[in-house]
Amino acid sequence: MTYSGRVPGHVAIIMDGNGRWAESQGLPRLEGHRRGAKSVREVTRACRRLGVRALTLYAFSEQNWFRPSSEVDALMTLLGQYIRGERREILDNDIRLSAIGRVRKLPDAVRRPLESLMAESENNQGMDLCLALSYGGREEIVDAVRSLVTAARLGKVQEGQVDESLIAEHLWTSHLPAVDLIIRTSGELRLSNFLLWHAAYAELYFTDTLWPNFGETQLIEAFREFSRRNRRFGRVGETVPPPDAEVL
Which residues contribute to the site for ligand FPP (CB under 6 A)? 15-20, 33, 36-37, 40, 57, 59, 64, 78-79, 82, 131, 186, 211
- Say how far residue 196 (Cα) sits from the centre of its chain: 12
To the nearest whole angstrom, how small is the minimum distance from the Cβ of residue 126 to ligand FPP?
18
Identity of the residue, 79 or 178, whose beta carbon is nearer to ligand FPP in the bound complex = 79
Measure the CA–CA gap between 96 and 148, rounded to whole angstroms: 27
To the nearest whole angstrom, how small is the minimum distance from the Cβ of residue 101 to ligand FPP?
12
Residues 65 and 35: beta-carbon distance below 8 Å? no
Identity of the residue, 45 or 229, whose beta carbon is nearer to ligand FPP in the bound complex = 45
What separation, in Å, do the N-terminal and C-terminal C-alpha atoms of the chain show?
A: 35
Identity of the residue, 82 or 194, whose beta carbon is nearer to ligand FPP in the bound complex = 82
Q: 16, 128, 180, 244: which is the annotated catalytic residue?
A: 16
To the nearest whole angstrom, how small is the minimum distance from the Cβ of residue 216 to ligand FPP?
16
Is there a catalytic annotation at residue 16?
A: yes
Residues 54 and 11: beta-carbon distance below 8 Å? yes
Give me the DSSP letters along 85-129.
HHHHHHHHTTEEEEEES-GGGS-HHHHHHHHHHHHHTTT--SEEE
Is there a catalytic annotation at residue 64?
A: yes
Which position's Cβ is nearest ligand FPP?
A: 19
For the annotated catalytic residues, the residue numbers are 16, 64
